[in-house]
A = this chain, B = another copy of it.
């Protein structure tokens, strides 16, 4: 794989500005995060960053500490001469991918201000996943519920075990999955979303695939391998081209068709002016393998 450029230098700093910073928890009544506990485990190899939710006893609940840890891992800059991150995979330790918010953080005792902080932090992470300049894949081995289901819906791609299940069961605890509904309602048809939200009942991996919530269902024991294969496939491409394309896709989807074409057409022309745009076309014409610069260097004005 070609050495990748420091895309973080180009795009990551902008993110820092647009994504609200997490406030430090000062509310003394709030359950204190265990300062030594590692809520997520991060590894990186050949441009593939893996973020592993690592609180299986709490079913990888999106506690405020977990949200902080996840956000930090998403935004962490690659150190020294390490290869730049090109793709991110989020997985979970144990049989539950993620069970959503930590209900113990959502009591009258912690109070409205703290609750607001948690939902702000959660929204930040969900929007960040989409705003990241690299694709983010959910690798789901088991149950994903509530904000955990929202996380799956928010990722760009979801590779899931045939054993996985998806639910928005907030009604069981008197807390309707309204924020998960934002992501779910944009991923699956309204009828499917409403039944999930009103009944709280899980759907199977196959149903999730049928309705567009996940991208690919694989045998349980091949989950990691298949996800890795997909990640490596995407790593073969120019990271600057992937980054440009992801950003354009998400931006144009919020616009009218005509406005979307205006924007995407401009991005195509910009893409063609990149070294990597011209390298790809040239290599295709010459019947060679392209050699990506993974940069935003220009081939022409």
Contacts and interface: CB of A to CB of B under 8 A. Distances in A.
Interface string A179-191: 1011001111111
Contact of A210 (B173, B199, B210): B210
Interface residues of A, number: 100
Interface string A87-109: 00000000000000001101110
Nearest to A260: B182
Count this chain's copies in the assembly.
3
Contact of A191 (B171, B212, B292): B212
Interface in A251-301: 252-254, 256-258, 260-262, 264-265, 267-269, 271-274, 276-285, 290, 292, 299-301
Interface stretch (A8-16, A61-69, A239-247): A239-247
A108 B300 contact: yes
A104 B152 CA distance: 40
A80 interface: no
A128 to B, nearest CB: 12
A8 B16 CA distance: 46
A197 interface: yes
Interface of A: 103-104, 106-108, 111-112, 115-116, 119-120, 122-123, 126-127, 130, 135, 156-158, 170-179, 181-182, 185-195, 197-201, 210-216, 230, 233-234, 237-238, 241-242, 244-246, 248-249, 252-254, 256-258, 260-262, 264-265, 267-269, 271-274, 276-285, 290, 292, 299-301
30 contacts: A103-B284, A103-B285, A106-B281, A108-B299, A108-B300, A112-B300, A115-B269, A115-B272, A116-B269, A123-B262, A127-B261, A130-B257, A135-B198, A171-B237, A171-B238, A174-B237, A174-B238, A174-B280, A174-B281, A175-B277, A175-B280, A176-B244, A178-B252, A179-B265, A187-B190, A187-B191, A198-B242, A198-B245, A200-B237, A201-B233
